[in-house]
Amino acid sequence: MTLEEARRILGLSADDDVNNRLGEFSAARERIADMVRGAPNDVLAMRYQDGLVEFDKALAVLREESEKEPEDVIRAREWMTAARGGTADEPKAGPVAEAGQEKEDKSDEKSAAPAEAAATTPPAPAPPSPAAKAPEPKPEAGESDADPDPNAEEDEEKRSVASRIFSTLVILLVLTTIGGALYAWHLADQKVRTTERLAFLERMGAKMIESRRWPEATAAYDEIDHLRPGTKAAEVGRRSIEAGMVEEQEQFVGYLSGEATSAFDLGHLDVAIEAARKVLEKYPNQKEMAELLQKAEDARTTQAREALVTATSDAIQKRRWDEAEHKANQLASSFPGDPEGNALLAEIRAGRDKETRERQRARELYDAARQRDTGTFDKTAYEWLREATGLSPDDEEIAALYEKIASYTRTIQVPGDYPQLADAIASARDRDRIVVAEGTYTGPLIVDKVITLEGAGRDKTFVEVEASESTAATFSRQSSGTRVSGITFRHRGFEAGEDRFSALLVRGAEVTLTDCRAADSAGHGLAVVEAGQVSATRCLFENNGWDGVAVRGAGSRIEFSECEAVGNIGHGFDLWDGGSAAIHQSIARDNSGNGIVVGTTADNIVIGNCDLRANREYGIVVANAGSGRIHGNRCRENLIGGMAVRVTAARLIFENNVLEKNEGPGLSLERGLDPQAFSSNTATGNSGGQNVLTNGDFAHGN
């Protein structure tokens, strides 16, 4: 690379002083290197790297050139030598040498040699050092041997001193002139370079603002202010930086705030929390985001708590005690002091104790049935073993004896003997046992004889029919004594008309259900009418279009234990128009209506030790009843209130019910009821502190 190419690359003119700008070029080189390292992509990085290589080559040529001796220094030295009367290559002579030379000149004047010979005489050799004495020249032919005049030598010395003073003054004058010229040139050059630097910094500042690289832009305008204080460019640049930072903040905060809010509204709490935290990490003073973050974290905490509670409750219902205890302990450790954790642990202990008692009872029934086994069908032994298998389903000895005694009757296998369940029922005789394998079977089923119908489990054996066609199974009066276990009855599709079919219909028959499920019905899950009687244990009634269980008409009755009514569009359990019930240790939750509604004239209404929670109306509504007892129930987290009692239900006994954490009053009493009759009930922690409401005007919905 030539010097001209190097100057062109670095933007130098032929008159620019290289030495004064080497420091500036080194700093510029570091800034280009920073641009290489901070390039936003590989393409720009390669471009910046190519420029850096060219810059380094040009800088190397200039540094090599700067090491050479400047021509003006050489010329100045030549001027100084000429002013002393010598040549540029002549070594410097001291004062003694000059004096000796003067004496020689005087001697030459007295010489008789021709002028032309003196003119062609070569220069005298270099004078000796000042410490040595100059030897006297030997006189040539014709020159007088007499000593020189002392006064003449003194005059000659004076002239030599004057000559030296004059030479020094001339040299000082020349140096002063050169120095002044050089200083003036330096000032002009400095001004040009400052102007160029300011233009470069303005361009760089604008590019950095465009790239939103605020620290680099700020540094550029700070340098502009340092080079030329008070310049308008620095002021405008700083305002542009402030405006850009504000715009960037608004865009950043606006985008992530919208994302966080939308995610929170959709229930995507983790996404909402992450977006809110990104905003607050960069802009900690965003109050709205801080509030949203707190709400999302609280909601996630509540969500985690509810998930643990639900998982624990499900494990309890399925009698998976170890799993339930593990979840309850997680709840207690994650949320210290939460009363729900302690309540669930107590429920688990009670469940374990109950299961132990049930297993003991099952063994007692097994022993009694084994003693009655004579090789022929014994209905009593068969019933004992049937109960024993329900109490202790994992006991292999009980199951084996049950199969043995049941085999004394006729056993029909579906699909082994009959591929369709309806055909098997149609061909069965009283007391026949129909065993249904895992699978889905099409209804409707019409049961008009006393049979035992056994599925492989309610999560394995399904009977279904179109919602617009019929019930999945109907039990007539002739089926009294029928037992059904381990089957789910459901509808396909949905029918929204006024006359809807139920999944199960019991008309005047006595039917026993164990571990069954009635779900997804257009109407009720189970409808008991015309003095029908249904006993159910561990059955589930969920996601039905009307009530989970509806009992209607004089003489119709249900006796339920450990059953659930969940997520129904109507009420969980509904007693009306003369229907009655005894419901124990059961659950009604997440129904759109009430958990349990008692609106009947029947006697002997018993609702005890049930869990009625998260229903959109009340946990229990007792509108009317002839007699009965409502006791030991827990009504919690219901939307309108815990329990509501009308004056027409005053003949019932209400005791030891717990009404807590409801969104409305815990206990609502209609005008005319004596609050003292309800003093044994507990109402705490209900919304707004309104635990007991008296003198309610229910006729007007208050």
pTM summary value = 0.52
Give yes or no for a contact between 442 and 462, defined as CB atoms under 8 angstroms apart.
no
pLDDT on residue 447: 97
Region 237-247 average pLDDT: 83
Where do the domains of the chain lie, and which CATH numbers do they carry? 319-408 (no CATH), 430-546 (2.160.20.10), 574-702 (no CATH)
For 199, the token pair is 């233009």
Among 539, 573, 572, 577, which residue's Cα sits nearest to residue 556?
A: 577
From 112-116, 481-485, 655-659, the region with the lowest mean pLDDT: 112-116
H or E, element range at 644: strand 641-645
**Predicted confidence (pLDDT) per residue in 611-666, tens digit:** 999 999 999 999 999 999 999 999 999 999 999 999 999 999 999 999 999 999 99
More confident residue, 364 or 6: 364
For 43, the token pair is 């393409």
Give yes or no for a contact between 424 and 414, defined as CB atoms under 8 angstroms apart.
yes
For 338, the token pair is 């939460």
The mean of the pLDDT values for the chain is 82
Q: How many helices (H) and strands (E) does the chain have?
A: 16, 33
572 contacts: CB under 8 Å, gap ≥ 6:
541, 547, 548, 549, 565, 566, 588, 589, 591, 593, 594, 595, 596, 612, 615
CA distance 542 to 524: 10
Give yes or no for a contact between 82 and 76, defined as CB atoms under 8 angstroms apart.
no
pLDDT on residue 94: 42
**Percent of the chain as helix, strand, coil, to the nearest 5:** 50, 20, 35
pLDDT on residue 78: 63
| Residue 451 clears pLDDT 90, i.e. is over it | yes
| Residue 237 clears pLDDT 70, i.e. is over it | yes
Spatial strand order of the sheet with 573-576 comes to 445-447, 473-475, 504-507, 526-529, 549-552, 573-576, 596-599, 618-624, 641-645, 667-670, 692-696
Region 214-240 average pLDDT: 84
Give yes or no for a contact between 678 and 653, defined as CB atoms under 8 angstroms apart.
no
For 208, the token pair is 């950095």
Amino acid at 458: R
Share of the chain above pLDDT 70, in %: 79
CA distance 438 to 486: 10
**Predicted confidence (pLDDT) per residue in 30-57, tens digit:** 777 777 666 665 656 666 677 777 777 7
CA distance 687 to 665: 7
Pairing of strands 517-519, 540-542: parallel
pLDDT on residue 539: 97
For 67, the token pair is 């090491």
| Residue 229 clears pLDDT 80, i.e. is over it | yes
Amino acid at 568: N
pLDDT on residue 620: 98
**Predicted confidence (pLDDT) per residue in 372-416, tens digit:** 998 887 888 988 998 898 888 889 999 999 888 888 888 899 999
pLDDT on residue 463: 98
CA distance 73 to 79: 10
Give yes or no for a contact between 502 and 529, defined as CB atoms under 8 angstroms apart.
no
**Predicted confidence (pLDDT) per residue in 194-219, tens digit:** 888 888 887 888 888 888 888 888 98
Share of the chain above pLDDT 90, in %: 43
Q: What angle do CA 610, 615, 618 make, to 5 degrees?
A: 75
Among 644, 648, 651, which residue's Cα sits nearest to residue 666?
A: 644
Confidence of residue 190 (pLDDT cuts 50, 70, 90): confident
Among 351, 326, 328, which residue's Cα sits nearest to residue 341?
A: 328
Place of tokens 């109960």: 387
CA atoms within 13 A on the CB side of 115: 0
Place of tokens 């995610």: 263
Cross-strand bridge partners of residue 432 = 451
More confident residue, 516 or 389: 516
CA distance 64 to 3: 10
H or E, element range at 566: strand 564-566
More confident residue, 185 or 328: 328
DSSP state of 69: P
User: Which phi and psi (to 5°) does residue 588 adopt?
Assistant: -135, 110
CA atoms within 13 A on the CB side of 504: 32
Confidence of residue 700 (pLDDT cuts 50, 70, 90): low
pLDDT on residue 622: 97
Give yes or no for a contact between 241 and 214, defined as CB atoms under 8 angstroms apart.
yes
pLDDT on residue 38: 67
Confidence of residue 114 (pLDDT cuts 50, 70, 90): very low
444 contacts: CB under 8 Å, gap ≥ 6:
422, 465, 469, 470, 471, 472, 473, 474
| Residue 455 clears pLDDT 50, i.e. is over it | yes
| Residue 362 clears pLDDT 90, i.e. is over it | yes
pLDDT on residue 654: 96
**Predicted confidence (pLDDT) per residue in 120-163, tens digit:** 344 444 444 434 444 444 444 444 444 555 566 666 766 776 66
Give yes or no for a contact between 293 and 301, defined as CB atoms under 8 angstroms apart.
no
pLDDT on residue 56: 75
Pairing of strands 653-655, 517-519: unpaired
Nearest 10 degrees: Cα torsion 326, 330, 331, 333: 130
pLDDT on residue 98: 40
Region 478-504 average pLDDT: 93
pLDDT on residue 269: 81
